[in-house]
Amino acid sequence: YFKISKLALAFAIIHSKPASKSCKEYTEHLAKIVSEKDFGWKLKVEALEAEVLRLRQELLLNKICPRFCLENGASAEDLLVQECTYPMSYSSQLEDSGCDVSSDYAFDSLGIASDFHQSEHNLDTSKYCLEIVTPLNLCCTNKEEPLTASVQFLQHLLEIRKLSEIGILQADFTKLENDSFTICSSVSQLLDGLTVFYNSPKFPVSDVLTEAICVLVSLIADTKLSNHVLKKCFKKLEEFKKKLIQIILRNSSTNRFQALHAVSQMLVLLGRNNILRNSLISLLLSEVHQFAEQLWQAHQIQAMYDVTQYENIFSLFMILEQLLQNEMEESNTSSSEYDREGKTKFLKNLDQIILHLSDEFPLFSLYLWRVSVLLNSAQIQ
């Protein structure tokens, strides 16, 4: 039946084609028209799906905190509402020269160091960032609209959590257990938006993306909400970390160092969480060990190696050192239970690799040795 249908379609195109066009040209013209219609329907479907998710987010927030019922009997209107925006200033930000000219906090190259610290300050009980009906006043492009919706939803969850913790609001976060789809979809949308940005970052960073980074880190740092997020979205977070690592390794643009720095700091921030840090260390050890073996093999037969990846691998070294140092400073034995097999595999033949590469690649060998020292120190501690 399918073959007969294709044959009938071919005859129909041949009989109806204009004299000025060949069959191939006319078929391509018809295919373009059909694909444009399909694309239009896809856009409509995506818009409707986004609207459904927004309504689910609003419904879930109202289930958690119906009409913002207050402990002290005051009305919801008595809350002094302010928008949770992070003031940005890029007046002094220059285009990336490929060189780090500052020793300031690592996020300064993105212009959001002070903003992230500001988001962690204690709540002023006279002012609360709580407005669910009115969206945050963030200017964004059409590509950033889905990201903005997720940022707003997750930010409201954080603010309700803070207000309920100090006794201002009554909130039932057990509702999150019954609506895993909404929280998963929101976090997934947030991670997808950040992945798109890190794949081709544009500086200065927009307010929406700055907000997204701060909300994601705050969400993971929150002791109660992070349990829900990690339980339901752990696989997505793992994929996100793997994508960030690959973005670092595969970036071949000439002036890429500001972008690599931004991705590296995102991974360091994610590593603040013990569970995420353990799996992240395992991923980084695996990538570094794999490249070390490839470099050793190429050196043995005097073959060519990927110079770009060689340059980028040092970003992974720096992330690894930071995470291992953080783990040692915490002195928490439960946090050091990362993949023992991965650690053993990394240390296997490491001395031999360092010995053979030390003359040709002294800096790479030095970083390998430093990571091995940190691994052994963590185990001894």
User: Which of 270, 300, 326 is a domain's end point?
Assistant: 270
> Which structural domain range is residue 323 located in?
273-380
State the average pLDDT over residues 30-40: 84
What total of structural domains would you count in the chain?
Answer: 2
What pLDDT is attached to residue 298? 93
User: Is pLDDT at 268 greater than 80 in this prediction?
Assistant: yes
Q: 370 and 326, same structural domain?
A: yes
User: Which of 237, 270, 303 is a domain's end point?
Assistant: 270
Range with lowest mean pLDDT among 83-87, 248-252, 342-346, 350-354: 83-87
Cα torsion angle, 139, 142, 146, 149, sign: positive
User: Is pLDDT at 207 greater than 90 in this prediction?
Assistant: no
Average pLDDT, the chain: 79
State the average pLDDT over residues 256-277: 90
**Distance (Å, rounded) from C-alpha 354 to C-alpha 292?**
9
What pLDDT is attached to residue 342? 72
309 pLDDT band, cuts 50/70/90, is: very high
Residue with tokens 């120190």: 377
286 pLDDT band, cuts 50/70/90, is: very high
Q: 296 and 266, same structural domain?
A: no
- Give the SS3 label for residue 271: coil
What pLDDT is attached to residue 332? 54
User: Is pLDDT at 99 greater than 80 in this prediction?
Assistant: no
**Distance (Å, rounded) from C-alpha 341 to C-alpha 279?**
12
Q: 257 and 169, same structural domain?
A: yes
State the average pLDDT over residues 248-275: 90
Q: Which residue has the higher pLDDT, 209 or 114?
A: 209
Range with lowest mean pLDDT among 54-68, 234-248, 346-360: 54-68
Q: 193 and 305, same structural domain?
A: no
Q: 264 and 150, same structural domain?
A: yes
Per residue in 137-174, pLDDT (tens digit) is 444 445 567 788 899 999 999 989 888 888 888 888 88
331 pLDDT band, cuts 50/70/90, is: low
Q: 266 and 149, same structural domain?
A: yes
What pLDDT is attached to residue 65? 87
DSSP bridge partners of 315: none
User: Is pLDDT at 113 greater than 50 in this prediction?
Assistant: no
**Distance (Å, rounded) from C-alpha 215 to C-alpha 220?**
9
Q: 293 and 281, same structural domain?
A: yes
Q: 317 and 241, same structural domain?
A: no
Q: Which of 211, 111, 232 is nearest to 153 (CA)?
A: 211
DSSP bridge partners of 70: 169
Per residue in 69-98, pLDDT (tens digit) is 444 444 333 443 433 333 333 333 334 444
**Does a structural domain hold residue 13?**
no
Q: 266 and 278, same structural domain?
A: no
**Does a structural domain hold residue 287?**
yes
